[in-house]
Structure 1
Amino acid sequence: MPNSMSLSRPKRKSPLSFPKPKSFPTTSWKCYQKRQRLKRLNSGMKRARSGTEEISEEQEEIKEKQTQLSNRFQAIGKQCEQLRKETAVIVQQSARTQNRLALMFQILKARENHEFDKAAMLTAALREAIAREEQEMNASEK
C-alpha cells in the first residue's frame, strides 16, 4: 500500500475554513481599497456637512430668540421705570393731600374752639401750600 498519507486531502486549519479567495492583482486591489475609503470618507463628510448645517440653523434660531428676549426685557425695563415714576408721583400727591387734610382739620378745630387767629394763620398756610403745589405741577409739565 502506498503511502496513505500522501493520497489524502491536505488538512484544513479548522473544519469550517474556506479556501482562500482569488486575489486581485495588487494594483487593482489597492485602487479598489482606495475607492472604498473615498466612498466612506465622502459619505462621512456629507453627514458632517448636514450636521453642521442643522447646527448653524439652530444657532441662528437661538440668536433670533435671544434678540427677541433682549427686546422684551428692554421694553419691560422701560415699563418698570415708567411705573416707578408714576408711583413716586402718586406718593407725593398722597403726602400733599394728607398735609392739606391735616391743615383743614386743624382749621376746623380752631374754629370750634373760637381760636379765629389760629384758624386765619392755618388758612393762610393752606393757601400757600396749595399755591406751591400748583407752581411745582406747572414747572414739572414744562
Structure 2
Amino acid sequence: MAPSRTDNPDMAKKHLKVRTKAKRLKTEMGKVREDQLCLIEEQSKLVTRFREIERQCNELKQEAQMMAKQSAMTRLKLELMLGILKAREGGDLVQAANLTRFLREIVAMEKANAILAQVKDEEDEP
C-alpha cells in the first residue's frame, strides 16, 4: 500500500502550509476582486457624471450663443430706432419711413421665429 500523507510528518507540515497559503491567496484574491468591482462602479459613476457635465456645458454654450444673437438683434433694433429719431429730427421722413419699415420687418421675423420655436418645442415634448 502507498504511504499516506499523514505518515510523513514533514509532508503533513508542507501540505498544511500549502493549504494555508492557498486559503490566504483566495482571501486576498477575493479582496482584490471586491476592490476591482468598487473601482469599476466608481469609474461608471464618474463617466456618468462627466457626461452630465458635458451635457450641461453644451447647454450653456447654446444659451450663450442665443444670448449673443439676442444682444446683436437688440443692438440692431436700437440703432434703427436711433436712426429713425435722427431722420425725423432732420426732417428726412423718407429715411425715417424706410428705417421704420425695416424695424417692423425685423420684429415680425423675430415673432415668427418665436412661434416656430414654440411649435417645435411642443412637438418635441412627449
Q: How would you bin the TM-score normalised by the shorter chain?
A: 0.7 to 0.9
The runs of at least 4 aligned residues of structure 1 exceeding 2 Å deviation read 27-30
Residue type matched to 1:131 in 2? Answer: A
Name the amino acid aligned to 2:82.
F
Root mean square deviation, CA, Å: 1.8
Letter in 2 for 1:55: V
Equivalent residue number for residue 100 of structure 1: 77
Question: Equivalents in 2 of 1:138, 1:80: separation in Å?
Answer: 27
Query: TM-score scaled by structure 2?
Result: 0.86
One-letter code aligned to 2:58: E
Q: Give 1 or 2: higher helix fraction.
A: 2
Q: How does 1:53-132 map to 2 (within 5 A)?
A: 53-132=30-109
Listed as ranges, the gaps of 5+ residues in structure 2 are 120-126
The answer for the alignment partner of 2:115 in structure 1 is: 138
Instruction: Tell me the percent identity.
Output: 31
Paired residues, what number?
A: 116
For residue 87 of structure 1, give the secondary structure of its aligned residue in structure 2.
Answer: helix
Please name the residue that 1:31 is paired with: 8
Q: Over alpha carbons, which structure has the higher Rg? A: 1
Cα 1:92–1:69 change in 2 (3 A) is same
State the distance in 1 between where 2:6 and 2:103 align: 110
